[in-house]
Amino acid sequence: MALKVVIAGASGKMGRCLIEAVTAEGMVLHAALDAPGSVAIGQRLGQLGIDAGAEAAHVVVTDDVAQALRGADCLIDFTRPEATLAYLAQCVQQKVAVVIGTTGFDTAGKDAIKAAATDIGVVFAPNMAIGVNATFKLAEMAAKILGDAYDVEIIEAHHRWKVDAPSGTALKLGEVVANALGRDLSKVAQHGREGHTGVRDDKSIVFHALRGGDIVGDHTVVFAGLGERVEVTVRSQSRMTYALGALRAAAFLANQGKGLFDMQDVLGLQ
């Protein structure tokens, strides 16, 4: 039986992409959610110009979370932390699995996600793209091989509308590299530079965030040694890479019970 999926943030760029991917991948679009007050509420996907396919074009966008989740297998959410946590509470009540691609959570938000995973299956990852998750593994391998002799800097670039910095993907790259080097990222992370900074700290991992135009998402980990430089880079050219990864995560959860997973689990890279 085809997986019945609910998409949150249906009228947004990522939501539209997810809806198109759901129908293309042979899953069933069970419902389309959007924020209260959105002009999309009450409209059919076809009216909004979303390429949902013939069967899903009639789906009406709603802000009734409880109704949207009723009978669904999985919610896929790429919205904002406050909205995600509200959806998550409803998913727990109705025992609906959830794929979370939202970033920018504080400690309390992350704790709420962990708590929900004791009742339902959750895939929570800063980036759902297959190539990006391969990059996490490559960065880990490079850090282990190169070691402390190489300075680490992480550069990320996104569109001008992104509201958090550094990106969740950049932070995950930092965590992966720090763990591989035996460092505590919370103690060695730095963000940009200004003024007379002095000599670079050997153990620091420095983040640089660029924002502009319509950049989908670029990430580079620079390992700078004496005499050579190693760079691990991934450039996302379409949001569809995130959408296809999220659907792969949803399919993964269909074969799991409760628990907290990430894309490394989904792809078997642990």
Q: Would you say 153 and 210 are in contact if contact means Cβ atoms under 8 Å apart? A: no
* Catalytically annotated residues: 158, 162
Q: What is the CATH number of the domain that holds 57?
A: 3.40.50.720
Total domains present in the chain: 2
Cα distances (Å, whole numbers) of residue 238 to 215, 216, 218, 224 = 9, 7, 11, 29
Q: What percent of the chain has pLDDT over 90?
A: 86
- pLDDT of residue 115 exceeding 80, the answer is yes
Q: Which of 51-60, 164-173, 224-233, 240-249 has the lowest mean pLDDT?
A: 51-60
Q: Do 215 and 248 fall into the same domain?
A: no
Q: Do 208 and 245 fall into the same domain?
A: no
Reading the block at residue 144, the tokens are 């282990």
Q: Do 161 and 218 fall into the same domain?
A: yes
Q: Do 70 and 147 fall into the same domain?
A: no
Q: Do 211 and 252 fall into the same domain?
A: no
Q: What is the CATH number of the domain that holds 145?
A: 3.30.360.10
- Quote the domain boundaries for residue 113: 4-124+239-266
Q: Do 105 and 13 fall into the same domain?
A: yes
Q: Would you say 266 and 252 are in contact if contact means Cβ atoms under 8 Å apart? A: yes
Q: How far is CA 193 from the centre of its chain?
A: 27
Q: Do 230 and 247 fall into the same domain?
A: no
Q: Do 57 and 118 fall into the same domain?
A: yes
pLDDT value at residue 239: 87
Q: Do 106 and 48 fall into the same domain?
A: yes
Span 124-155, pLDDT tens digits:
998 899 999 999 999 999 999 999 999 999 99
- pLDDT of residue 266 exceeding 90, the answer is yes
Q: Do 102 and 148 fall into the same domain?
A: no
pTM assigned to the model: 0.81
Q: Do 108 and 185 fall into the same domain?
A: no
Q: Do 141 and 107 fall into the same domain?
A: no
Q: What is the mean pLDDT of residues 176-193?
A: 97
Span 27-86, pLDDT tens digits:
999 999 999 999 999 999 988 888 777 777 889 999 999 999 999 999 999 999 999 999
